[in-house]
Structure 1
Amino acid sequence: MDKMNRAYRYKRLAEIATRRETVSIFLIVVFIAAALSSMFISPQLYQWSIHEGDVALKDIYAPYDFTYFWGVDEESTVKAKDAAVRAMPYWLRRDPALEEKQRARFERFFDMLDAEREQNVPIGEKVTSLKAAMEERPSDRNLRFFLEYPDPLEIKQGTFGILEDVFRTGYISRDDLDHLRRKGVQGVIVFNKEAGTETEQAPEDLLDRGGIRAVTEDYASKRFASDRKTRQAVAALISAYIAPNLRIDEKRTEAETEEMLKGVEPVSRRWAVKKNELIIEKGKRVNVRHIAQISQLRRVFRPGVKPTFFFGVLLLFLLLGLIAAVYTSFSRKRNFLMDTKSVAIVLLNMFIMIVLADFIMRSPQPSYFIPMASIGMMITLLVGFNMAFLTVVLMSVLISLLVGGKIEMTLVLMVGSTVGMFAVRDVRCRTRILWAGLLVGTAKFLAVACIGLINGMELDFYVKDGIWSIASGLFSGFIVMGLLPVFEHLFKVPTNISLLELSDLNHPLLKKLSMEAAGTYHHSITVGNLAEAACDSIGANSLLARVGAYYHDIGKMPKAEYFSENEMGSKSMHAKLAPSMSALIISKHVKEGVEIAKKYKLNSTIIDFITQHHGNSLVYYFYQKAIEKSGSGTVLEEENFRYPGPKPQTKESAIVLLADSVEASSRALGDPTHSRIRHLVKKIINNKFIDGQLDECDLTLRDMHNIADSFVRVLMAIFHTRLNYPENTKKSPNGTLPDDSKNKQRKPKQKKKD
């Protein structure tokens, strides 16, 4: 059971991972991660590689108020050094020789105590004898206490232990401590040269004569916790006998201070720069002060190393993504994430634009040179105007914010891009792209002029930035011309330009179709005319529909004689075949058409017309024949007589489906009057609608009405009538009648009233 559950979970995860929405979301996440991790994400407003002595290639103005540091502030530097000196600890040296003398003094004291204890004299004489032998004069009470202490070894060891505690803490003379306080010393380092130890302490933690008694009594409390008299006696003895063991080492302190001052950086002077103030004038030599200003701008404009920058840009992407989601939910009936190919095209174009924008910002060119229109035109040609417009708006806002939040940048980029998208909406030759680029440049020049007039700029602004704006438009055109074939090949997306190449009737596949299945060829041409007119009537892609119609029946070539439009004689090839076999041959032309299309490397969009031009409709004629032959008692499966599908997914493929049925049925009309043709067209469209063949495309009832009208108009032109010219009975000079066969046309028939 566990294995089955695990297998089910793996299968479920695999299904989720291969969904189109999942792939699209993964591509979006990869795009955001790549943009955030790339150092190209933060465009610059200044020259990137700038060094002292270089000549400035353009005027550089401050984008906003900022401050920078340049030159040494002598007064602040002196203050900084004074502060560093005050913070510098003093070095105090422990004197091991003095400590050893102190131990020897205490050792002699306890030796004298031991000697007096052995004397058989009154206690008072012992005290008097001790006082006479000692330089210091301890109190008689303390001396009596030490002489009468029951465990001499214990009190001796305790006293020496407390003595070592005092040495470790440090005992300094009153004069030295006052010297440290006058200097304002905030810390000291006690070092023992012989032992190689260093301990940093606060001056107030050191012991002096004023606090030695209390501290030693505190130390004694740890060794003689239960005997208050002993603590007091030992503390009194040590405070009376001990001498300071710390000495100020002036040489060491001065050496360490000098070494520290070498590391104190001079304090730079702070300067303020106002917004729009000229930083570097074009043509001037770059000096150290310019470098300081540019470096400050670099730190402000390129905060990519800071986590806050990445979080900010990530939040910006999420907000722009929210705008895109809202826009696509209203402008498209289908979920845009289902179209993985379009998502990849849009994201790749966006990333290319971020890279180009960063490169241009590093260069001397003004920011208006950014070829934003190139991705607008590219996405318009590859995906559509709606997604191109949304992408341009979002990218213009993104680039403008990263540059410094300039609204005029957004205006110029959006104006040029919108004009470019409009100019290439129906482009059918590659040279028109260059003309579109010129229109983009003109529009950007007008936008720059608008900004200059509003802000009262000098003539130099119009000449410099205006010319670069025109150059940006031409640059955009060249980018589209260079990258469009790459995108067409990489994503297998047809554009009007590649569709025109496929619509050439001299295309090898169309030439082969005209030779091997002439009836199918002419049928396809007529279907193309019908589909083109219908698409024009509802605003669909008429060129795509016409080209799709040209190739929709190429699968009939292997068995062309089995299709009525290619039958040359009166006898049908299906006469001796079972209806089920005939239906199989008829429906198989879809599969064979796909194989032929792949062999000739046709675009997948054109292949969709081959697979969808019948949907999963019924091969009705042979289905009815099968019913007639089987009798009333036999039940036939409709699925055996249906095309494999799928149903049309786009307006264009649905129109080709309708045009294909209308053209084939119209040839059976005996008297193709206007009313008969209209009735036939409406009947076929209604039947396809009722059969559900139009359920998965975006056609509306109004669209179907307009399609029907366009079909009727084209069919009436096809089945037009001519006058029957009278025969010429006059003989020619050679005695023969002239050839009037060209004048023998079908008589016009009286139109029936509708």
Structure 2
Amino acid sequence: MNSINEICSKNKEGINAHARIVFSFAAIFIFLILATASIFINPFIARTNLRNGDVALRDVYAPYDFFYTWGKNEKKTAEVIDKAVENVPYFFKRDTQLEEKIYRKFEIFFNALSKQNYLSVDNIALNTPEDNSGFPKVAEFEPLRLINSFGLNIDNYEYMSLRHSTEILKDAVFSTLSKLFTDGIIDETSRKLLNEEKDDYVVIFSDMETTAPRLSESLIDFSLVDEKIKMHVKEYFEEEDEEFINAIAGFIQSGVSSNVIADKERTSEEEKKIIDNIEPIYNVWEVKKNELILQKGSRINERHLAEIYEITELVKRGKTKNFLEGMLLLFVLLGMVLWIYMAFTYKVNVLNNTRDIVIILTNIFFVLLVADIIIQTPLPSYSIPFAGSGMIIMLLLGFGPAFVVSVIMGILVAVLIGGTVSLVIVFLSGAVVGIYALRNARRRADILWAGIFAGLIQFLAVITVGLINDINFAVYFSDAFWGFLGGVSSAAIVMAGLPLFEYIFKIPTNISLVELSDLNHPLLKRLAMEAPGTYHHSIMVGNLAEAASDSIGANSLLVRVGAYYHDIGKINKPQYYSENEMGEGSKHAGLTPSMSALIIGKHVKDGVDIAQKYKLNTTIIDFIKQHHGDSLISYFYQKAKEEAKEDLIPDEETFRYMGPRPQIKETAIVLLADSIEASSRTLIEPSVANVRNLVKKIINNKLIDGQLDSCDLTLKEIDKISESFIKVLMAIFHTRATYPDESKKAETQKTENNGKNKFRKFK
């Protein structure tokens, strides 16, 4: 039976451990997402707090040297625009209709020339009517006059040079015209315009295409077009003489004209596009550290806003991919530090402590969120209630985690604000003092005093930083005041948030324990009224357990409160327990041992039910569950063995408490104190030797029975606990002078007790 229960218990523990690890990873993942998102809060929150025309409520000094831009620099902006405009090419429109007309003129001419080139000069006559082409109609006329009629002016010699090469001439003419039109022929007015504008580049465009910018020198002046024509003609007639080349060049030149026209409107449009894309050049102003930026009572203008905005931007981190990656890596590095600390402190898998992980991450996230909001407002960074989270962790988890987390949060906040060491010094000083001030906190007022102490230390720390950095007195004194308010506001946050943490995570703090230790608590008053013997027993157990706890450095307040409530299950049937008999005799006299054991053992389950009804913390409920462990109800077991027949041995498991065994030192101390206090009342001669023997015997029995196996008490600690029990019991059973009549009374009482004690040895 035992082995099956142990196997089931181990399987359940394994499943629970796996679930806790999963929840821990989920909590860490959610924290990373939320913490990173908190850094990227809208950066314009701060700018909405101050507006143009508002009245300044306080002086604002520059916290460091910086530069800012304000006011357009007209001269530099104009220089940039002029330089940009100089690089804009001048646009020329290509007259494709004119080019087509010139091509057609030469085409018609060559068609006519091919029909009439055999006629002599005397046989040609000119007919003036025009056909639909717009050129003179050709009948019978002299070829030279035909040429002249098309506006192609050459003399007889040149004509005679052309007669023998009509087809070659046609190819040369059209090729030359194509090259000329592609290069672009400009008139004298366009060239003069280019010189005035000092444009080195031009762009030629038409309805079909736009060329890339090219040197304006590549355009052909009309006055120099004959040279270009001769150059192109020579490519066709390399072996001809100069006169022949000149004749053809003159023939082509007589038919061409400029084909590109300067488009001033298009050029202006392109310049405007460039100008519109140019960012204005602003004046750069320098501000020195401690310089008065804004005077109290003055009107805020745009320049003030520019200066203040620059300060807020300097302390903001960039919203870039690199910054995001850096922050995530910083979270990982600081998380590793926290992981190592917790691994050494708890000496188990850190991820099994899901509750502690969630508490720590929640507090870190809260500080990051508040810090990111405050640094985007006009409030100084020292007003951040930094110490609050450390104080909450101190009350919930202890000094060690609170200190380590405060260091980690200090680094994170400093990086978020601007990486200043002075900020870490101020925040960490206040947090450590606030944590230390709460080491023995028993009242809500202690939290307020801890916040005041933290604020005072932050006040002094800011002044220290101001003196070291030689900051203006008014500046650092104002910041120091805000640092003090940051400490006080931390206390307010702790008082508001602590009950929420206690409720959600079921952790009793010293403050809530003090409230539970009040003997006017409804449940304790009920215990005193309905089971006065058990009430007195619980108070005595509390005294014993508290002293034992102090001797080994355990949580003595938790132990005392746990002892007060450990036996509340006896309220349901108080008369069945020896301390509540009140001389009426034992209720177990007519019951079987198994029934008596069932009633005695049931007070553990009844206690859990009552505690849950009164909404006691789960930690206190653990004292109720574990204050007997799974120990044997030995009196009724022995009685059952005596009454049983020889072949029927009673099952030991039915005479054991439901358990579990104590899991922590505090519950183990209450288990020992409970047994020792109950047994000590049976001592007739409470001498030091008798008390010592009793204590040693009970503790040894519990060790042998394995009731202390599940907690981390050491033998050295058990020895200290034993000595503390002896001291307290001897103080209770202190000796005094015995009077004659009391001696007789004591002897009579001894005789009576010998008959009654047989029912006083069970719990």
Q: Fold conserved (TM > 0.5)?
A: yes
Mark the CA change 1:501 to 1:89 in structure 2 (over 3 Å): closer, same or farther: same
Q: Distance in 1 between matches of 2:599 and 2:229?
A: 118
Secondary structure in structure 2 of the residue aligned to 1:69: strand
Q: Which has the larger radius of gyration?
A: 2
Q: Which moved more, 1:171-180 or 1:664-673?
A: 171-180
Query: Which letter maps to 1:35?
Result: A
Structure 1 match to 2:87: 87
Deviation per CA, 1:272-320: give whole Å up to 9, x if none: 3344544334454434333332233333322453333333332332222
Structure 2 match to 1:612: 626
Structure 2 match to 1:589: 603
The equivalences for 1:136-147 within 5 A come to 147=167
The equivalences for 1:364-443 within 5 A come to 364-443=378-457
Contact 2:637/2:655 (8 A) holds in 1:
yes
Deviation per CA, 1:75-113: give whole Å up to 9, x if none: 322221112202334322232321331442354256347
Q: 1:500 aligns with which of 504, 514, 537?
A: 514
Structure 1 match to 2:213: 202
Question: How big is the shift at 1:547?
Answer: 0.9
Structure 2 match to 1:20: 20
Structure 2 match to 1:50: 50
Structure 1 match to 2:588: 573
Q: Distance in 2 between matches of 1:178 and 1:39?
A: 62
Q: Which moved more, 1:665-674 or 1:399-408?
A: 665-674
Mark the CA change 1:683 to 1:111 in structure 2 (over 3 Å): closer, same or farther: farther
Question: How big is the shift at 1:512?
Answer: 2.5
Q: Distance in 2 between matches of 1:557 and 1:212?
A: 124
Q: Percent identity?
A: 47
Question: How big is the shift at 1:249?
Answer: 0.5
Gaps of at least 5 residues in structure 1 are 1-10, 122-127, 221-236, 729-739, 748-754
Deviation per CA, 1:102-139: give whole Å up to 9, x if none: 4423542563477479x899xxxxxx969974838899
Q: 1:553 aligns with which of 564, 567, 571?
A: 567
TM-score normalised by L of structure 2: 0.76
Structure 1 match to 2:760: none
Q: Structure 1 residue 720 and structure 2 residue 734: aligned?
A: yes
Question: How big is the shift at 1:426?
Answer: 1.5
Q: Structure 1 residue 249 and structure 2 residue 237: aligned?
A: no
Question: How big is the shift at 1:395?
Answer: 1.9
Q: 2:287 aligns with which of 228, 248, 273?
A: 273
Contact 1:534/1:707 (8 A) holds in 2:
yes
Contact 1:48/1:362 (8 A) holds in 2:
no
Question: How big is the shift at 1:183?
Answer: 5.7
TM-score normalised by L of structure 1: 0.77
Question: How big is the shift at 1:537?
Answer: 1.3
Query: Which letter maps to 1:88?
Result: V
Secondary structure in structure 2 of the residue aligned to 1:19: helix
Query: Which letter maps to 1:296?
Result: E
Contact 2:57/2:297 (8 A) holds in 1:
yes
Mark the CA change 1:363 to 1:248 in structure 2 (over 3 Å): closer, same or farther: closer
Contact 1:170/1:207 (8 A) holds in 2:
yes
Structure 2 match to 1:8: none
Structure 1 match to 2:34: 34
Q: Structure 1 residue 518 and structure 2 residue 529: aligned?
A: no
Q: Which moved more, 1:496-505 or 1:67-76?
A: 67-76
Q: Distance in 2 between matches of 1:239 and 1:690?
A: 128
Mark the CA change 1:566 to 1:172 in structure 2 (over 3 Å): closer, same or farther: farther
Secondary structure in structure 2 of the residue aligned to 1:676: helix
Question: How big is the shift at 1:418?
Answer: 1.8
Secondary structure in structure 2 of the residue aligned to 1:672: coil
Deviation per CA, 1:437-476: give whole Å up to 9, x if none: 3322332333334334444556545753444444443333
What root-mean-square deviation, in Å, do the aligned CA atoms of Structure 1 and Structure 2 show? 4.8
Question: How big is the shift at 1:147?
Answer: 4.4
Secondary structure in structure 2 of the residue aligned to 1:269: strand
Q: Distance in 1 between matches of 2:607 and 2:284?
A: 77
Structure 2 match to 1:76: 76
Mark the CA change 1:744 to 1:422 in structure 2 (over 3 Å): closer, same or farther: farther
Q: Which moved more, 1:344-353 or 1:651-660?
A: 344-353
Secondary structure in structure 2 of the residue aligned to 1:38: helix
Structure 2 match to 1:483: 497
Mark the CA change 1:250 to 1:364 in structure 2 (over 3 Å): closer, same or farther: closer
Structure 2 match to 1:100: 100
Q: 1:599 aligns with which of 613, 617, 636?
A: 613
Deviation per CA, 1:552-584: give whole Å up to 9, x if none: 2222333444444445555452764353x5544
Contact 1:48/1:363 (8 A) holds in 2:
no
Contact 1:723/1:746 (8 A) holds in 2:
no
Q: Distance in 1 between matches of 2:363 and 2:451?
A: 17
Q: Distance in 2 between matches of 1:376 and 1:675?
A: 48
Q: Structure 1 residue 294 and structure 2 residue 305: aligned?
A: no
Mark the CA change 1:130 to 1:672 in structure 2 (over 3 Å): closer, same or farther: farther
Q: Distance in 2 between matches of 1:696 and 1:239?
A: 115
Contact 1:86/1:185 (8 A) holds in 2:
yes
Deviation per CA, 1:665-721: give whole Å up to 9, x if none: 333445433233323323433443454443443333332222111111122223333
Q: Distance in 2 between matches of 1:632 and 1:129?
A: 157
Mark the CA change 1:470 to 1:252 in structure 2 (over 3 Å): closer, same or farther: closer
Q: Distance in 1 between matches of 2:652 and 2:180?
A: 109
Query: Which letter maps to 1:597?
Result: A
Secondary structure in structure 2 of the residue aligned to 1:660: helix
Q: Distance in 2 between matches of 1:330 and 1:509?
A: 39
Contact 1:187/1:203 (8 A) holds in 2:
yes
Secondary structure in structure 2 of the residue aligned to 1:67: strand
Mark the CA change 1:419 to 1:334 in structure 2 (over 3 Å): closer, same or farther: same
Q: Which moved more, 1:635-644 or 1:248-257?
A: 635-644
Contact 2:72/2:283 (8 A) holds in 1:
yes
The number of equivalent residue pairs is 692
